[in-house]
Amino acid sequence: MATSAEPTLLGPGDLSGPVEVVGRVADSSNLAVLARLVEHDGAHVIYKPVRGERPLWDFPDGTLAGREVAAYLTSRLGGWDLVPPTVLRDGPLGPGSMQLWIGDPFAPVADDRVVDLVPARRIPRGWVGVVDGETPHGASVRLVHQELADVRSLAVLDAVLNNSDRKGSHCLRDDTGRLWGIDHGVCFSPTPKLRTVLWGWAGEPLPDADRARLSRLSDELGRARVRTELERLLPEADVAALEARVHRLLQSGRHPLPSPGWPPVPWPPL
């Protein structure tokens, strides 16, 4: 798995050159830093140094940055292109992942949620209900997400990644309306851990476009260069599990169902 400070070459999105730290992202569970790429017209990145990763009981220490980059690579190889450009490279706090920041980090947060909480038993038109729950103040609510093709594709990608923490705040739309998924440090476990807010299509047939993406990814995983790159970012067992998940999804042709014995929805979900 990756420990090198050398940048990976994964396609569009040159995130090289000098980096200037702007400040810490305060609500992140691990050390996450907003930084500016000095030579790229002021573009910003979120930088997650390996040294700032908190130990987890279910993921090997020092592997979260590599998982962030592997999620971008997997999304790109399959043709989903739903993860912002992400590389593993050195920075002011040592090696870590750097991901292009979507939007203006200093602008007010847009009210264009992909996932939301609405009053219980009510599903707005164009949305899908997931589960009923309760707020900390005791109000009954229903978790819903948009019923759109790009959101559905993100749900498929999460099944591929075995994403164990897809919250609503990890689903963003940029100024053009394009959907992005962020925060993939706890993906790729060889143990079934899919925990997501995007269960609205559970058990339904996969769209043809996503079946085609799965086939494309399966072909790419058979290439020696791709396997070498993934095994630079992930433990070998995690890469083998990724290939097995893609095969199972192609065989079943359906969105997965929650795994027994594992909490299927993060809470709070946003």
Per-residue pLDDT of the chain (270 residues; tens, 9 = 90+): 443 333 333 454 578 889 999 999 888 889 999 999 988 777 899 999 999 999 999 999 999 999 999 999 999 999 999 999 999 999 999 999 999 999 888 887 767 799 999 998 789 999 999 999 888 888 899 999 999 999 999 999 999 999 999 999 999 999 899 999 999 999 999 999 999 999 999 999 999 999 999 999 999 999 999 999 999 999 999 999 999 999 999 999 999 999 888 899 998 888
Three-class SS string for the chain?
CCCCCCCCCCCCCCCCCCEEEEEECCCCCCCCEEEEECCCCCCEEEEEEHHHCCCCCCCCCCCHHHHHHHHHHHHHHHCCCCCCCEEEECCCCCCEEEEECCCCCCCCCCCCCCEEEEECCCCCCCEEEEEEEECCCCCEEEEEEECCHHHHHHHHHHHHHCCCCECHHHEEECCCCCEEECCCCCCCCCCCCCCECCCCCCCCECCHHHHHHHHHHHHHHCCHHHHHHHHHHCCHHHHHHHHHHHHHHHHHCECCCCCCCCCCCCCCCC
User: Does any domain span residue 122?
Assistant: no
Q: Are 223 and 216 in contact, with CB atoms under 8 Å apart?
A: no
Would 37 be classed as within a structural domain? yes
Please give the pLDDT value at position 13.
57
The pLDDT, as a whole number, for residue 6 is 37
Within-domain flag for 66: yes
47 occurs within a structural domain? yes
Residue 77: what residue type?
Answer: L
Whether 117 is covered by a domain: the verdict is no
Q: Supply the pLDDT for residue 5.
A: 36
In a domain, 85, yes or no: yes
Instruction: Tell me whether residue 13 is in a domain.
Output: no
Number of domains in the chain: 1
What is the per-residue pLDDT for 267? 81
Task: Note down the domain range covering 77.
Answer: 19-108+148-252
pTM of the model: 0.92
In this predicted structure, what is the pLDDT of residue 40? 78
What integer pLDDT is reported at residue 10 of this predicted model? 45
- In a domain, residue 165? The reply is yes
